[in-house]
Amino acid sequence: MQRPIVPTFSALVLVGLALSSSGRAEQATPAPDTVPFYQRDRGPGVPTSLFGTYVQAGELLVYPFYEFTLNRDQEYKPAELGYGLDQDFRAKRTDHEALLFAAYGIQENLAIEIESALWTTANQAKATDDPSGVPSEVTESGFGDTQAELRWRLVREREDRPELFSYFELTFPFQKDRLLIGTQEWEIVPGIGLVKGTRWGTWTTRASLTYLPLDGTVEFGEYALEYMKKLSERWRTVLSVEGEQDEVALIAEAQVFLNPRTCLKLNNGFGLTSKAPDLAPEVGVVFSFR
């Protein structure tokens, strides 16, 4: 029953391409000579949770994408998989996800977004030194993580100061009975960030907290330092160091504008610490509608 999701996901990409190519050929961001130098990499929009992607007032962004994750030594506990032993082991894990992201600019300083894994499958292998009853492979498939965010600009950037933005993320517990995929309890994530454009590129830094209402836990959440550079009217590149607790990765992305309202995104994550995924390639197309 899971297979129809994949062709449906592909159809979303084809429909988006058709709509974007048939619409008005307007620029997603103002022409370079109409914006100050510190906005020329990105334009005047509010930063979204996507790397190097901003949304303007009245603009709708739709991004269907696919992500693969490989971690050759994923940490797991047999007890968390229903097999009693409360001890950490490490073994190979792979994930495949077909996701859909959408963001809308409510006004020039406020945006809302939602992201959902419409289909995901995860495969966790058993460690060779694991004496528990965990089978050689544990596999789950189905509906994955879903979260919504409210993002707002608190202080506009000027030549002498960075832009200050904040966000509030809510993750829904749609998979309470799953062990490998989805989210099993509510997660509330407040965060804050800075953006500063220079003549040599645009820098963004952000950090967040994660609050789990079920047990009252508050943890230091995701943090990142990102660099973006517009190379031409068609090409932009993004580099980011992103982490959460002891998982840190380097992410490199190329953005190719197929037309002013359609952007192909290609990126890959490379684990910098032992607990981070080894590889996490992603491919998708951002469609802009105004």
Confirm whether 103 is domain-assigned. yes
Confidence of residue 1 (pLDDT cuts 50, 70, 90): very low
H or E segment to which residue 188 belongs? strand 187-198
Q: Which domain holds residue 237?
A: 5-283
Q: How far apart are CA 66 and CA 117, in angstroms?
A: 9
CATH number, domain with residue 38: 2.40.160.40
Confirm whether 162 is domain-assigned. yes
Confirm whether 78 is domain-assigned. yes
Q: How far apart are CA 234 and CA 225, in angstroms?
A: 24
Confirm whether 290 is domain-assigned. no
pLDDT for 50 equals 96
pLDDT single digits (tens) 79-128: 999 898 999 999 999 999 999 999 999 999 999 999 999 999 999 999 99
pLDDT for 14 equals 56
pLDDT single digits (tens) 162-218: 999 999 999 999 988 889 999 999 999 999 999 999 999 999 999 999 999 988 999
Confirm whether 74 is domain-assigned. yes
- Residues with Cβ within 8 Å of residue 139, at least 6 apart in sequence: 121, 122, 123, 124, 180
- Residues with Cβ within 8 Å of residue 260, at least 6 apart in sequence: 25, 26, 27, 28, 288
- CA 179 vs CA 21, 80, 154, 236, 275: distances in Å: 42, 7, 38, 38, 19
pLDDT single digits (tens) 42-88: 999 999 999 999 999 999 999 999 999 999 999 999 999 989 899 99
Confidence of residue 256 (pLDDT cuts 50, 70, 90): very high
pLDDT for residue 11 is more than 60: no
Q: Which tokens in the block code for residue 196? A: 């500063």
- Number of folded domains that form the chain: 1
pLDDT for 15 equals 54
Confirm whether 288 is domain-assigned. no
Confirm whether 145 is domain-assigned. yes
Compute the average pLDDT of residues 129-150. Answer: 95
pLDDT for residue 22 is more than 80: no
pLDDT, averaged across the chain: 91
pLDDT for residue 19 is more than 80: no
